[in-house]
Amino acid sequence: MLQTAGCLRHVATVEEKREIVSDYLKWYIIDRNSSVIDRFREGLSTLEFLTALQQHPTLLASALCHSEKQLTAFDLEILFKPDLSPSGSNRRLKESQTMGYWADYLLDCEEGQADVSVEDVLMFATGLSSLPPSGLEPLPQIEFLDDSPFPMAKTCTNSLKLPLLDSYTLFKSQMDFGIQNSPGFGCF
């Protein structure tokens, strides 16, 4: 690799070793990728996007750059949209009650009063440990389960299925158990 990078030479001092390492890293990170960087720059120049980005660098920072914003219960609550039954139906009443349990559960997760964190809930439902800058596609949604006391998720479609249970205590324990026993993609 040093020969390919043009850095292979005899080393007599520690300073020469540092120079070789510095030269190699410059080649590895910048020089060998220069054609890719140039093509990316050309693509951004289409329709003057690169010029606009250079003139207003902070405008698209939230969409183009990842930030370590702490995930909150509110973030998840507004992110997941419920697929509710028709208004006035008996099932809709149970779904509304479950949505209340869901909001309380997310708060418990955020405050450390549940066995899982809000990041664990997001990982369970989407396969992601944090929200991407550009958002999620497809948009996450909540469905409801009659036939299982445990939550289920389809990470490909970002859908979370919540059990319809009679008490918050039972809902919380079943959510904790279900999420803890399905670590998602081998992530522990």
Catalytically active residues, by annotation: 156
What whole-number distance in Å separates Cα of residue 123 and Cα of residue 180? Answer: 11
For residue 58, report the phi and psi dihedrals to the nearest 5 degrees.
-85, -15
8 Å CB contact between 80 and 136:
no
Among candidates 141, 12, 126, 3, which has minimal Cα distance to 71? 126
Q: Prior bond to 138 cis, omega within 30?
A: yes
What whole-number distance in Å separates Cα of residue 84 and Cα of residue 95? Answer: 7
Among candidates 165, 71, 82, which has minimal Cα distance to 120? 71
